[in-house]
Amino acid sequence: DDKVCLTNINRQIIATRKTIGKYKVDVMEERVHSINPEAQVTVHKCFYLPETADQFDFTQYDYVVDAVDTVTAKLEIIMRAKEAGVPVISCMGAGNKLDPTQFHVADIYKTTMCPLAKVMRRELKKRGVKKLKVVYSTESPVKPLENMENSCKTGCVCPPGTTHKCTDRRAIPGSISFVPSVAGLILAGEVIKDLIAEKE
């Protein structure tokens, strides 16, 4: 139930003035088909959480990429992938960062600096996960400017009454176009390299 919001325009390729208010999965499906009309796209209009996890059959995937924001969802994705015996790579925090050159690929237990990675290390250790490939940044988080008004205003279409609603969040990590996109490209590169290595 995630829709394109005004605040997505600076960093999400599907977000434009014309797509504000539309379901992100629908816009992405349309974009994929505009590139390759024969591509098979399966759309799930839901936030990935333990309650919705059964909608996804992990055994059908060649590789799983975790690029979601919430710790609960990340842990569920990782554990489901591990249980299914499917390779998984996870992206750590890209918010409040300005230097895309400080992204690295490493095992989760060798990460430093990233606050999200610290939480994930602790939680994964509790669950007996001994290794996990991640993309993370060694850049110190940039402190957001204080007293900034909510930039959504009339452009906010977040579902009312949910924790995802912009106006209900105490703090939204800032992001800029050239940081999360680089993390995404690194993730894609790692997946392709791993899949090629499997075939050799």
What is the secondary structure of 64-126 as a DSSP string? EEE--S-HHHHHHHHHHHHHHT--EEEE---TT---GGGEEEEEGGG--S-HHHHHHHHHHHH
Q: Over the stretch 116-164, which tens digit does the pLDDT of each residue have?
A: 999 999 999 999 999 999 999 999 999 876 655 555 555 555 555 544 5
Q: How many CB atoms lie within 10 A of CB 67?
A: 15
Q: Over the stretch 3-59, which tens digit does the pLDDT of each residue have?
A: 999 888 988 999 999 999 999 999 999 999 999 999 999 999 999 999 999 999 999
Is domain 49-145+167-199 in CATH 3.40.50.720, yes or no?
yes
**Residue extents of the structural domains in the chain:** 1-45, 49-145+167-199
Backbone angles phi, psi at 64, to 5 degrees: -120, 130
Contacts with 103 (C-beta within 8 Å, 6 or more apart), sequence order: 135, 136, 137, 182, 183, 186
Tokens of residue 9, six digits = 């325009």
DSSP label at residue 145: P
Confidence of residue 200 (pLDDT cuts 50, 70, 90): confident
